[in-house]
Chain A
């Protein structure tokens, strides 16, 4: 089976987020970029599925040349090849249009995305792709398997879990717990240097949104400490002063 894994390149989870240019740009100075953690799960799952059922795993990223180092890491983890769509990822809809064009041109049995990227948190690409390709889409999966030409998923729903099967081709998004992400080994890192990384130009799409300004969360006032021996007072304060509980 042919699997396409959609990958976002995002700031490392420990990054302190700041903005520059009068808060119109994310400040990338000194920031370490990584594979979006949810996309790392879909990549690992894709590798597990092709190891079991045969097939290939391609990674696709919408980004400029500075994404290449992170793409090489995905190749080192085990993807067979990669495609970089040479454009800045404007928003989820822009990204989904680019990926949909790749899928239509190359044909895949399954497309995997992360539940959301940890930078823009849109959580849109999986379902957008489903609609653009007229495929079924299954969000926030904690298990993915392929049996007898069908995909079986376990996914999170509001307040519970659901087990669901789907015909192929299908697009699905990865949730935590899907698998343990793999760490590249020396052999993988060496092999990644020569694996194909194709760069294609973006297709033009209608403008969906424009980001104008960023804001950091407001700093908290100093904490009000309550003596440990009088801990019960906290409930009184929350009830009668903060009026936050009944």
Chain B
């Protein structure tokens, strides 16, 4: 039986959760069970139903996120529901609980999975390794399995079901961790889930010039990112740094402005479906990794792009 962990983002199931549902019902070849913590907003369970979920188990009674308690409650629900293959979107939350659930249900765990499994001889998944510089095929040997899939890797597959919602309650025990404060950038698209990313590097000359980058990103519904030097110099927050020692992303479109394209940076973005490089140096390595390129000064190119994006 295949199931998913549906991360509940303040009542909402994000696209990455729907991708997990599609993935699970594709490998199950039928409807699947979803497990979430906390009551989702009105109508959210219908989103799951559209992508192959016919049962949603809602775990009530847990307060703030605590990796230990969440994992224990989810493990219990997974075992009760008879789930032996659990699909989960590979987010920060997933990374803090999927390994704990794997220990709880004695499962083989694969993270960074980017394609459907080959089930002709066991269960072999393809995952990203070497920080974007390679892929590996790995066979999960245990009967129980957890597959954490990278957002934007697999498609949404409609498979309408009617969904039954079951509420179970978990016991709130004494937590050994305590959340002091949480800050979220309101309305911003998390970089790892963005379908379009506008990224800029040292070619922007200084943090005061990022207005244009942000304007273009807004017009394209994109998240903003940056290169390592830019985050090292404090021009942009480190959470925007993509590359081998930053975040590896896989958007549909990656626009790199004033970034030369060092191997460490390319490693983090080379899985993007379409790459655009804008650089004044025609020899910049990024042009070898790009689908489209413009050789020119960012300060002349960006206003043209913003204008063109507005004319629509």
Contact = CB atoms under 8 A, between A and B. Distances in A.
B134 A224 contact: no
> Residue among B132, B177, B274, B301 with the most chain A CB within 10 A?
B177
A142 B305 CA distance: 35
B102 A128 contact: yes
Contacts, number: 271
Chain A, interface residues (CB within 8 Å), range: 35 or more
A215 B238 contact: no
Chain B facing A: main interface SS:
mixed
B238 A176 contact: yes
A128 B137 contact: no
B189 to A, nearest CB: 8
B301 A208 contact: no
A244 B253 contact: yes
A235 interface: yes
Contact of B245 (A118, A142, A166, A211): A118
Contact of B295 (A128, A157, A225, A244): A225
A16 B263 contact: yes
A217 B103 contact: no
A121 to B, nearest CB: 6
B288 A127 contact: no
Contact of A160 (B184, B287, B289, B312): B184
Interface in A202-246: 206-217, 220-221, 223-228, 231-239, 242, 244-246
Interface stretch (B107-115, B153-161, B163-171): B107-115
B98 A127 contact: yes
A242 B274 contact: yes
A13 B271 contact: no
- Which size class do B's interface residues fall under? 35 or more
Given A208-B108, A213-B137, A214-B136, A228 B300 contact: yes
Given A138-B177, A142-B238, A161-B183, A17 B130 contact: yes
Contacts of A245: 196, 220-221, 253
Contacts of A200: none
A131 interface: yes
Given A162-B181, A228-B296, A234 B137 contact: no
B185 A159 contact: yes
Interface in A12-61: 13-17, 19, 26, 37-38
A109 interface: no
Given A121-B131, A124-B109, A131-B99, A234 B92 contact: no
Interface of A: 11, 13-17, 19, 26, 37-38, 91-93, 96, 118-128, 130-132, 135-140, 142, 152, 156-167, 170, 175-177, 206-217, 220-221, 223-228, 231-239, 242, 244-246
Interface of B: 9, 66-68, 71, 91-93, 95-100, 102-104, 108-112, 124, 126, 128-142, 176-185, 188, 190, 192-193, 196, 220-221, 231, 238-239, 241, 244-246, 248, 252-253, 263-264, 270-271, 273-277, 287-297, 300-301, 304-305, 307-309, 311-312
Given A17-B133, A163-B179, A220-B288, 7 more contacts: A127-B98, A127-B99, A159-B190, A162-B179, A209-B108, A210-B138, A245-B196
